[in-house]
């Protein structure tokens, strides 16, 4: 994992990291009339669409669920959290390529770049998930204290995402096909994860394959908390936790060994 020298470097350059996050957030809404209000309007519109279209117009229902907002909560629980995972992985795999000029011109701890990716994604996720939480409260569907179980899930999901993103990011510097392939792969990965459908509707043979999808257990844990107001089955998350640890270690090792070569390759 991170060495003491890396942690010290991150602390010394904390102003650079936080400033980069702030600049990116501001640049998204520069030259817009409503400015930062779009950070609320965009996710609010998405939540309203899921609620009105799927729950009211299409009358979508989950097996055994008759509540008015059940399917929209199930859907949002999966899509919002998947969005965090997808944003971290897709941005981390391109971060070294996109910041090539910065890497060549300025001397700073390179590990700052993946950290900036994670913080930017968390800012976006915090805004949209806060609105979703308000929706749960307003609709009387807030799950109660079990809601706190989301915190360890977030840690696991972020570790899995940044570990994978770091591995892909280093490989993408030397083999640009990696990034192109992952853009296609993650679309199939989304549909192979029970986000818009419950696992119970899948044929038994297909359900058996879900054990090889680490995000399936993570998303189902979120859905258990937010939709069913129940504790996730922590044992089911063990393979994802082990994979997250392996990817983080592998990503850091690749990063340490290839950091110098990456600058030359870029």
SS (H, E, C) 24-92: HHHHHCCCCCCHHHHHHHHHHHHHHHHHHHHHHHCCCCCCCCCCCCHHHHHHHHHHHHHHHHHHHHHHH
DSSP designation for 195: S
pLDDT confidence of 237, banded at 50, 70, 90?
very high
pLDDT at residue number 238? 95
**High-pLDDT (> 70) share of the chain, %:** 81
How high is the mean pLDDT of the chain?
83
Q: Both tokens of residue 225?
A: 């908390």
Of residues 107 and 255, more confidence is placed in 255
Q: Residues 202, 205, 206, 212: what is their CA dihedral angle, to the nearest 10 degrees?
A: 140
**106-123 per-position pLDDT tens digit:** 766 778 888 899 999 999
Alpha helices for 175-237 (secondary structure H): 177-191, 204-209, 214-226
Distance, in Å, from the CA atom of 140 to the CA atom of 172, rounded to the nearest integer, reads: 46
The model carries a pTM of 0.87
Distance, in Å, from the CA atom of 51 to the CA atom of 47, rounded to the nearest integer, reads: 6
Query: For tokens 């913080």, what's the residue?
Result: 119
Q: Both tokens of residue 51?
A: 């609620």
Distance, in Å, from the CA atom of 123 to the CA atom of 24, rounded to the nearest integer, reads: 11
Average the pLDDT over each of 65-79, 127-141, 226-240 and give the range with the smallest value: 65-79
Whether the predicted pLDDT of 35 surpasses 70: no
pLDDT at residue number 226? 93
Q: Both tokens of residue 212?
A: 């090889």
Whether the predicted pLDDT of 54 surpasses 70: no
**130-155 per-position pLDDT tens digit:** 988 998 998 888 999 999 999 999 99
| CA-wise closest residue to 3 among 196, 255, 187 | 255
Domain boundaries, the chain: 4-265
pLDDT confidence of 60, banded at 50, 70, 90?
low
């Amino acid at each position: 994992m991170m060495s003491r020298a890396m942690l010290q470097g991150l602390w010394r350059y904390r102003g650079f990291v936080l400033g980069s996050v702030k600049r990116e957030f501001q640049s998204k809404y520069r030259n817009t009339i409503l400015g930062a209000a779009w950070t609320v309007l965009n996710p609010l519109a998405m939540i309203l669409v899921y609620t009105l279209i799927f729950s009211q117009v299409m009358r979508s229902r989950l097996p055994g669920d008759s509540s008015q907002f059940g399917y929209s909560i199930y859907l949002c629980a999966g899509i919002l959290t998947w969005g965090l995972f997808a944003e971290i992985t897709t941005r981390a795999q391109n971060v070294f390529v996109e910041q090539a000029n910065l890497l060549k011109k300025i001397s700073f701890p390179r590990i700052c770049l993946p950290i900036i990716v994670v913080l930017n994604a968390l800012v976006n996720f915090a805004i949209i998930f806060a609105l979703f939480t308000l929706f749960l409260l307003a609709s009387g569907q807030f799950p109660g204290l079990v809601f706190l179980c989301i915190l360890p899930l977030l840690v696991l999901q972020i570790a899995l995402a940044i570990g994978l993103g770091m591995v892909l990011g280093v490989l993408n510097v030397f083999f640009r096909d990696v990034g192109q392939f992952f853009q296609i792969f993650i679309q199939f990965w989304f549909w192979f994860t029970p986000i818009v459908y419950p696992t119970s509707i899948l044929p038994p043979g297909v359900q058996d394959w879900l054990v090889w999808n680490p995000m399936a257990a993570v998303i189902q844990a979120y859905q258990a908390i937010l939709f069913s107001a129940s504790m996730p089955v922590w044992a089911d998350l063990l393979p994802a936790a082990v994979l997250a640890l392996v990817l983080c270690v592998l990503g850091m090792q690749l990063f340490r060994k290839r950091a110098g070569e990456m600058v030359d390759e870029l």
